[in-house]
Amino acid sequence: MRWHIQGLGSLGCLWAARFAAAQQPVRLILRNPAALARYQKIGRVRLSDANQQHTQSYPISAQLPTHHEPISRLLLACKAYDATAAIAQVAHRLNQDSLVVLLQNGLGSQQAVQALIPNTRCIVASSTEGAYLTEPFHSVFAGQGEIWLGSLERHPEPEGLINNCRDAQIPCTWTATIETTLWRKLAINCLINPLTVIHDCSNGALIAHADLINGVCTELHALLIAAQHSAAADDLQQQVWQVINKTASNSSSMRQDVHNKRRTEINYITGFACAQSIALECRTPALHALHAQLQKALSMRGLPTR
Protein backbone atom coordinates (compact mmCIF):
# COMPACT_ATOMS: atom_id res chain seq x y z
CA MET A 1 0.00 0.00 0.00
CA ARG A 2 1.46 3.37 -1.00
CA TRP A 3 1.76 6.14 1.59
CA HIS A 4 1.56 9.82 0.73
CA ILE A 5 3.09 12.16 3.29
CA GLN A 6 1.97 15.77 3.48
CA GLY A 7 3.97 18.03 5.79
CA LEU A 8 7.70 17.38 5.53
CA GLY A 9 8.88 18.77 8.83
CA SER A 10 10.43 16.80 11.70
CA LEU A 11 7.81 14.07 12.02
CA GLY A 12 6.84 13.88 8.33
CA CYS A 13 10.48 13.27 7.38
CA LEU A 14 10.88 10.76 10.24
CA TRP A 15 7.90 8.70 9.03
CA ALA A 16 8.85 9.05 5.35
CA ALA A 17 12.40 7.85 6.00
CA ARG A 18 11.18 4.81 7.93
CA PHE A 19 8.69 3.79 5.23
CA ALA A 20 11.41 4.23 2.62
CA ALA A 21 13.94 2.25 4.70
CA ALA A 22 11.42 -0.61 4.88
CA GLN A 23 11.05 -0.34 1.09
CA GLN A 24 7.40 0.57 1.34
CA PRO A 25 6.19 2.81 -1.50
CA VAL A 26 6.03 6.43 -0.35
CA ARG A 27 5.44 9.81 -1.99
CA LEU A 28 5.90 13.27 -0.54
CA ILE A 29 3.41 16.08 -1.08
CA LEU A 30 4.93 19.56 -1.03
CA ARG A 31 2.55 22.44 -0.64
CA ASN A 32 3.41 24.52 -3.76
CA PRO A 33 5.83 24.64 -6.72
CA ALA A 34 8.42 26.65 -4.75
CA ALA A 35 8.47 24.07 -1.92
CA LEU A 36 8.65 21.23 -4.44
CA ALA A 37 11.58 22.93 -6.20
CA ARG A 38 13.38 23.34 -2.84
CA TYR A 39 12.94 19.63 -2.14
CA GLN A 40 13.97 18.59 -5.65
CA LYS A 41 17.20 20.58 -5.33
CA ILE A 42 18.09 18.39 -2.33
CA GLY A 43 16.31 15.34 -3.73
CA ARG A 44 16.21 13.24 -0.58
CA VAL A 45 14.98 12.99 2.96
CA ARG A 46 17.64 12.44 5.57
CA LEU A 47 17.30 10.85 8.98
CA SER A 48 19.92 10.90 11.75
CA ASP A 49 20.02 9.19 15.11
CA ALA A 50 19.91 11.26 18.30
CA ASN A 51 23.72 11.66 18.48
CA GLN A 52 23.85 12.45 14.78
CA GLN A 53 26.46 9.77 14.31
CA HIS A 54 24.54 7.90 11.64
CA THR A 55 22.64 9.52 8.80
CA GLN A 56 20.73 7.75 6.07
CA SER A 57 19.45 9.37 2.88
CA TYR A 58 16.29 8.40 1.05
CA PRO A 59 15.65 9.74 -2.45
CA ILE A 60 11.84 9.75 -2.20
CA SER A 61 9.67 11.03 -5.07
CA ALA A 62 7.73 14.20 -4.42
CA GLN A 63 4.71 15.78 -6.03
CA LEU A 64 2.28 18.69 -5.74
CA PRO A 65 -1.18 18.46 -4.13
CA THR A 66 -2.64 18.93 -7.63
CA HIS A 67 -1.05 15.66 -8.85
CA HIS A 68 -3.59 13.21 -10.35
CA GLU A 69 -2.49 10.11 -8.38
CA PRO A 70 -5.27 8.89 -6.03
CA ILE A 71 -4.31 8.68 -2.35
CA SER A 72 -5.06 5.51 -0.42
CA ARG A 73 -3.05 6.26 2.73
CA LEU A 74 -2.16 9.78 3.75
CA LEU A 75 -0.10 10.88 6.71
CA LEU A 76 -0.86 14.53 7.48
CA ALA A 77 2.13 15.74 9.49
CA CYS A 78 1.74 19.52 9.61
CA LYS A 79 1.01 21.74 12.62
CA ALA A 80 -2.58 21.83 13.87
CA TYR A 81 -3.18 25.35 12.51
CA ASP A 82 -2.23 24.27 8.96
CA ALA A 83 -4.23 21.02 8.91
CA THR A 84 -7.50 22.14 7.29
CA ALA A 85 -5.77 24.18 4.58
CA ALA A 86 -3.47 21.23 3.83
CA ILE A 87 -6.27 18.66 3.58
CA ALA A 88 -8.32 20.97 1.37
CA GLN A 89 -5.45 20.88 -1.15
CA VAL A 90 -5.68 17.08 -1.56
CA ALA A 91 -9.37 16.40 -0.77
CA HIS A 92 -10.13 15.69 -4.45
CA ARG A 93 -7.63 12.79 -4.38
CA LEU A 94 -9.27 11.04 -1.42
CA ASN A 95 -12.22 8.64 -1.59
CA GLN A 96 -14.24 6.42 0.74
CA ASP A 97 -11.50 3.77 0.76
CA SER A 98 -8.73 6.21 1.66
CA LEU A 99 -7.29 6.43 5.17
CA VAL A 100 -5.92 9.68 6.57
CA VAL A 101 -3.68 9.59 9.64
CA LEU A 102 -3.70 12.90 11.54
CA LEU A 103 -0.54 13.56 13.53
CA GLN A 104 -1.43 16.95 15.06
CA ASN A 105 -0.92 17.89 18.68
CA GLY A 106 -3.83 19.08 20.82
CA LEU A 107 -7.48 18.79 19.86
CA GLY A 108 -9.81 20.58 17.47
CA SER A 109 -7.91 20.32 14.21
CA GLN A 110 -8.72 16.62 13.84
CA GLN A 111 -12.47 17.24 14.05
CA ALA A 112 -12.16 20.17 11.60
CA VAL A 113 -10.27 17.99 9.10
CA GLN A 114 -12.82 15.16 9.36
CA ALA A 115 -15.63 17.66 8.74
CA LEU A 116 -13.93 18.73 5.49
CA ILE A 117 -13.68 15.13 4.23
CA PRO A 118 -16.82 13.44 5.65
CA ASN A 119 -16.60 10.46 3.27
CA THR A 120 -13.00 9.59 4.13
CA ARG A 121 -11.92 7.81 7.27
CA CYS A 122 -9.59 9.77 9.54
CA ILE A 123 -7.38 8.05 12.09
CA VAL A 124 -6.01 10.27 14.83
CA ALA A 125 -2.59 9.83 16.40
CA SER A 126 -1.03 10.73 19.71
CA SER A 127 2.74 10.54 19.44
CA THR A 128 5.38 10.81 22.13
CA GLU A 129 8.28 10.37 19.69
CA GLY A 130 10.59 13.37 19.45
CA ALA A 131 12.26 14.73 16.33
CA TYR A 132 13.66 18.00 15.05
CA LEU A 133 15.06 19.32 11.78
CA THR A 134 18.70 20.33 11.44
CA GLU A 135 18.01 21.67 7.94
CA PRO A 136 15.14 21.26 5.45
CA PHE A 137 14.19 17.59 4.98
CA HIS A 138 16.83 16.39 7.49
CA SER A 139 15.22 15.02 10.63
CA VAL A 140 16.97 13.97 13.82
CA PHE A 141 15.18 11.24 15.76
CA ALA A 142 15.68 12.76 19.21
CA GLY A 143 13.48 10.64 21.44
CA GLN A 144 12.00 7.16 21.31
CA GLY A 145 8.33 7.08 22.16
CA GLU A 146 5.09 5.49 21.24
CA ILE A 147 2.26 6.31 18.89
CA TRP A 148 -1.36 5.58 19.73
CA LEU A 149 -3.75 5.42 16.81
CA GLY A 150 -7.53 5.38 17.01
CA SER A 151 -10.79 6.63 15.58
CA LEU A 152 -12.73 9.58 17.01
CA GLU A 153 -15.83 8.03 15.47
CA ARG A 154 -15.14 4.68 17.11
CA HIS A 155 -14.55 2.88 13.83
CA PRO A 156 -12.77 -0.47 14.17
CA GLU A 157 -9.04 -0.84 13.52
CA PRO A 158 -8.34 -0.63 9.79
CA GLU A 159 -6.96 -3.90 8.51
CA GLY A 160 -3.21 -3.95 8.03
CA LEU A 161 -2.55 -0.39 9.26
CA ILE A 162 -0.71 -1.23 12.46
CA ASN A 163 1.33 -4.04 10.89
CA ASN A 164 2.18 -1.80 7.99
CA CYS A 165 3.58 0.84 10.37
CA ARG A 166 5.33 -1.69 12.60
CA ASP A 167 6.98 -3.29 9.55
CA ALA A 168 8.54 0.13 9.02
CA GLN A 169 9.70 0.28 12.69
CA ILE A 170 7.05 2.91 13.48
CA PRO A 171 5.90 1.92 17.00
CA CYS A 172 2.13 2.20 16.58
CA THR A 173 -0.54 0.64 18.78
CA TRP A 174 -4.28 0.76 18.13
CA THR A 175 -6.51 2.00 20.94
CA ALA A 176 -10.30 2.06 21.14
CA THR A 177 -10.03 5.01 23.56
CA ILE A 178 -7.94 7.49 21.60
CA GLU A 179 -10.11 10.41 22.76
CA THR A 180 -9.15 9.65 26.36
CA THR A 181 -5.48 9.57 25.36
CA LEU A 182 -5.77 12.88 23.49
CA TRP A 183 -7.75 14.64 26.26
CA ARG A 184 -5.28 13.51 28.90
CA LYS A 185 -2.33 14.75 26.85
CA LEU A 186 -4.25 17.97 26.19
CA ALA A 187 -4.79 18.52 29.92
CA ILE A 188 -1.10 17.89 30.65
CA ASN A 189 -0.04 20.24 27.83
CA CYS A 190 -2.51 22.91 29.12
CA LEU A 191 -0.72 22.86 32.45
CA ILE A 192 2.91 22.62 31.38
CA ASN A 193 3.26 24.41 28.05
CA PRO A 194 1.78 27.88 28.85
CA LEU A 195 3.65 28.23 32.13
CA THR A 196 6.99 27.34 30.54
CA VAL A 197 6.38 30.15 28.03
CA ILE A 198 5.10 32.70 30.55
CA HIS A 199 8.07 32.09 32.90
CA ASP A 200 10.50 31.13 30.11
CA CYS A 201 11.62 28.08 32.05
CA SER A 202 12.26 24.36 31.70
CA ASN A 203 9.51 21.90 32.63
CA GLY A 204 11.25 21.05 35.93
CA ALA A 205 11.27 24.69 37.08
CA LEU A 206 7.45 24.58 37.22
CA ILE A 207 7.75 23.20 40.75
CA ALA A 208 7.90 26.89 41.76
CA HIS A 209 4.30 27.25 40.53
CA ALA A 210 2.86 24.14 42.19
CA ASP A 211 -0.18 25.89 43.73
CA LEU A 212 -1.23 27.39 40.41
CA ILE A 213 -0.70 24.08 38.60
CA ASN A 214 -2.73 22.17 41.17
CA GLY A 215 -5.52 24.78 41.01
CA VAL A 216 -5.81 24.67 37.20
CA CYS A 217 -5.53 20.89 37.42
CA THR A 218 -8.65 20.75 39.59
CA GLU A 219 -10.54 22.73 36.93
CA LEU A 220 -9.26 20.52 34.10
CA HIS A 221 -10.26 17.46 36.10
CA ALA A 222 -13.83 18.81 36.25
CA LEU A 223 -13.72 19.68 32.54
CA LEU A 224 -12.65 16.16 31.59
CA ILE A 225 -15.55 14.75 33.56
CA ALA A 226 -17.99 17.26 31.99
CA ALA A 227 -16.68 16.21 28.57
CA GLN A 228 -17.38 12.58 29.52
CA HIS A 229 -13.74 11.59 29.60
CA SER A 230 -13.55 10.67 33.25
CA ALA A 231 -10.91 8.01 32.50
CA ALA A 232 -8.64 10.87 31.37
CA ALA A 233 -9.32 12.65 34.68
CA ASP A 234 -8.18 9.73 36.83
CA ASP A 235 -5.01 10.63 38.76
CA LEU A 236 -4.55 13.69 36.56
CA GLN A 237 -2.62 15.67 39.14
CA GLN A 238 -0.28 12.76 39.85
CA GLN A 239 0.25 12.25 36.10
CA VAL A 240 1.08 15.92 35.58
CA TRP A 241 3.76 15.88 38.28
CA GLN A 242 5.12 12.61 36.93
CA VAL A 243 5.52 14.19 33.47
CA ILE A 244 7.09 17.32 34.97
CA ASN A 245 9.62 15.21 36.89
CA LYS A 246 10.38 12.90 33.98
CA THR A 247 10.87 15.81 31.56
CA ALA A 248 12.42 18.19 34.09
CA SER A 249 15.31 19.29 31.88
CA ASN A 250 13.15 19.58 28.71
CA SER A 251 11.98 22.75 27.11
CA SER A 252 8.30 22.25 26.24
CA SER A 253 7.37 22.21 22.56
CA MET A 254 5.53 25.52 22.96
CA ARG A 255 8.55 27.19 24.57
CA GLN A 256 10.72 25.83 21.74
CA ASP A 257 8.30 27.32 19.19
CA VAL A 258 8.49 30.69 20.97
CA HIS A 259 12.31 30.59 21.11
CA ASN A 260 12.31 29.80 17.37
CA LYS A 261 9.86 32.69 16.78
CA ARG A 262 7.32 30.25 15.40
CA ARG A 263 3.57 30.31 15.74
CA THR A 264 2.40 28.07 18.61
CA GLU A 265 -0.49 25.59 18.70
CA ILE A 266 -2.18 27.57 21.55
CA ASN A 267 -5.56 27.45 19.82
CA TYR A 268 -5.56 23.64 19.94
CA ILE A 269 -4.32 23.40 23.54
CA THR A 270 -5.58 26.00 26.06
CA GLY A 271 -7.75 27.59 23.35
CA PHE A 272 -9.57 24.29 22.78
CA ALA A 273 -9.94 23.60 26.51
CA CYS A 274 -11.36 27.10 27.17
CA ALA A 275 -13.83 26.77 24.26
CA GLN A 276 -14.96 23.38 25.59
CA SER A 277 -15.43 24.75 29.10
CA ILE A 278 -17.75 27.45 27.71
CA ALA A 279 -19.64 24.98 25.51
CA LEU A 280 -20.08 22.55 28.42
CA GLU A 281 -20.86 25.33 30.92
CA CYS A 282 -18.08 24.05 33.15
CA ARG A 283 -16.49 27.06 34.88
CA THR A 284 -12.68 27.16 34.61
CA PRO A 285 -11.63 30.70 35.63
CA ALA A 286 -8.00 29.83 36.43
CA LEU A 287 -7.61 28.06 33.07
CA HIS A 288 -9.06 31.10 31.26
CA ALA A 289 -6.68 33.38 33.18
CA LEU A 290 -3.74 31.15 32.21
CA HIS A 291 -4.82 31.22 28.54
CA ALA A 292 -5.09 35.04 28.65
CA GLN A 293 -1.64 35.31 30.28
CA LEU A 294 -0.21 33.06 27.57
CA GLN A 295 -1.80 35.21 24.86
CA LYS A 296 -0.22 38.28 26.46
CA ALA A 297 3.21 36.60 26.58
CA LEU A 298 2.92 35.60 22.90
CA SER A 299 1.71 39.03 21.86
CA MET A 300 4.67 40.68 23.67
CA ARG A 301 6.98 38.50 21.56
CA GLY A 302 5.16 39.45 18.34
CA LEU A 303 3.61 36.00 17.90
CA PRO A 304 0.00 35.11 16.98
CA THR A 305 -2.27 34.72 19.98
CA ARG A 306 -4.37 32.00 18.44
Q: With binding defined as CB under 6 A, does residue 75 bind ligand NAD?
A: no
Only segment of 66-74, 112-120, 123-131, 287-295 that touches ligand NAD (CB under 6 A) = 123-131
Residues 230-269 that bind ligand KPL (CB under 6 A): 243, 247, 250, 252-253
Indicate the DSSP class of residue 31.
S
Q: How many other CB atoms are found less than 10 A from the CB of residue 155? A: 12
Quote the least distance from Cβ 12 to ligand NAD, whole Å: 6
For residue 203, state whether it binds ligand KPL (rule: CB under 6 A): yes
Does 7 participate in binding ligand NAD (rule CB under 6 A)?
Answer: yes
From the list ligand KPL, ligand NAD, none, partner contacted by residue 11 (C-beta under 5 to 8 A by kind):
ligand NAD
Rounded distance between C-alpha atoms, residue 12 and residue 159, angstroms: 23
What is the C-alpha separation between 243 and 173, in angstroms, rounded? 21
- Binding residues for ligand KPL, rule CB under 6 A, total 10
DSSP code for 134:
E
User: Is 266 one of the binding residues for ligand NAD (CB under 6 A)?
Assistant: no
189 belongs to the binding site for ligand KPL (CB under 6 A):
yes
Residues 124-163 that bind ligand NAD (CB under 6 A): 127, 130-131, 133
Q: Whose Cβ is closer to ligand KPL: residue 93's or residue 185's? A: 185
Least separation in angstroms between residue 75's CB and ligand KPL is 20
Sequence-distant (≥ 6) Cβ neighbours of residue 115 within 8 angstroms:
none
Tell me how far apart the terminal alpha carbons of the chain are, to the nearest angstrom: 37
Among candidate residues 123, 241, 131, 253, the one with its CA nearest the CA of residue 182:
123
Check binding of 223 to ligand NAD (CB under 6 A).
Answer: no
272-303 as b/e, with b when 16 or more CB fall inside 10 Å? bbbebbeeeebebebbbebbeebbebbeeeeb
Q: Nearer Cβ to ligand KPL, position 247 or 293?
A: 247
Binding of ligand NAD by 80 (CB under 6 A): yes
Name the β-bridge partners of 122. 100
- Is 296 an annotated catalytic residue? no
Using CB under 6 A as the criterion, what x/- string covers residues 118-157 for binding ligand KPL? ----------------------------------------
Give the residues across from 27 on adjacent strands: 4
77 binds, among ligand KPL, ligand NAD, none (CB under 5 to 8 A by kind): ligand NAD
Residue 250 binds: one of ligand NAD, ligand KPL, none (C-beta under 5 to 8 A by kind): ligand KPL
Report the alpha-carbon distance of residue 9 to residue 135 in Å, rounded: 10
User: Which neighbouring-strand residues pair with 57?
Assistant: 46
Q: Give the C-alpha distances (Å, rounded to integers) separating 106 from 5, 147, 182, 185.
A: 20, 14, 7, 8
Q: Which does 243 bind (CB under 5 to 8 A by kind): ligand KPL, ligand NAD, none?
A: ligand KPL
- Closest by alpha carbon to 186, among 243, 133, 130? 243
Tell me which stretch binds ligand NAD (CB under 6 A): 6-14, 206-214, 226-234, 294-302.
6-14
Q: In a 10 Å sphere around its CB, with 0-12 CB exposed, 13-18 middle and 19+ buried, how is residue 252 labelled?
A: buried
The residues that touch ligand NAD, with contacts defined as CB under 6 A, are 6-12, 29, 31, 77-80, 82, 85-86, 89, 103-105, 127, 130-131, 133, 253, 265
Residues serving a catalytic function are 185
